Amino acid sequence: MHRSTILLLSLLILLSTAAAGCAAHLKETKGVSRLGYSIQVGAFSDVKNAERLTARLQEKGIDAFYFKRDSRIYAVRFGDYPTWDAAKKHAKKLVSDKMIDSYFIASPQSEFIEKGKKTELKKYSSPVPRPKPTSDMGGIAARTAERFVGIPYRWGGNNVVDGMDCSGFVRAVYNLCGVNIPRTSREQFGTGENIDRDDLKDGDLVFFGASRDEINHVGIYVGNRRFVHAPRRGADIKISSLDEEYFVKKFIGGKRYF
């Protein structure tokens, strides 16, 4: 089998496994829901091309985001459709409107099985030491977040508000895991289970701001008192420590949705 095909199958297995693990343990929480079918577009070698397509879709009212598909390729994903046919119908319309070209319908509950052959998940290096692999939602969300480290994240379109890039990033990670969470950091903080700093687990969201009523930043906890976040508009996604003076002062609390 061609190497690129194996890599694509590996990613599909990773994302479908992630979605199954995430959705299976999702708590019934207001504002949080399981994701349906999505449309995935593109295989961009330049992240700016993925960013531009994302912005163009968002300008049309489509809640799109981009992500690193593997070490060299970026893709764009959007949508929450109840059926595969509904997703395909919308994708075909976007093609006819010349908004997108080729596409892939992604299902967070699907399984990709290659008969007669074993396909290994693509390995990647983590920027920080991490716990042993886990099948629970939190571990999957944390490992997914780490895959974004080092790429710029800019929330496109005309709907940018304070803190949208950081909340858009965590929403994209949860989306890849098959979970819908609210759009802004303030809305995200208003849902889920309250978690103290010392009780944080992989995949929990950590919030920062002047007060509980003035949340302006959010990241994804990945263990070892560290979290992944989009520090400011257009900046590279990075890992920071909760023990840094700024984050110690601004830390408001953690939230868990599963």
* Catalytic (active-site) positions: 166, 217, 229
* 3 state SS for the chain: CCHHHHHHHHHHHHHHHHHHHHHHCCCCCCCCEECCEEEEEEEECCHHHHHHHHHHHHHCCCCCEEEECCCCCEEEEEEEECCHHHHHHHHHHHHHCCCCCCEEEECCCCCCCCCCCCCCCCCCCCCCCCCCCCCCHHHHHHHHHHCCCCCECCCCCCCCCCCHHHHHHHHHHHHHCCEECCCCHHHHHCCCEEECHHHCCCCCEEEEECCCCCEEEEEEEEECCEEEECCCCCCECEEEECCCHHHHHHEEEEEECC
SS3 state at 253: strand
DSSP-assigned states of every residue in 53-81: HHHHHHHTT---EEEE-SSS-EEEEEEEE
The token pair that represents 184 in the structure block: 């802004």
Residue with tokens 């609390």: 253
> Could you give the CA distance from residue 37 to residue 54 in angstroms, rounded to a whole number?
18
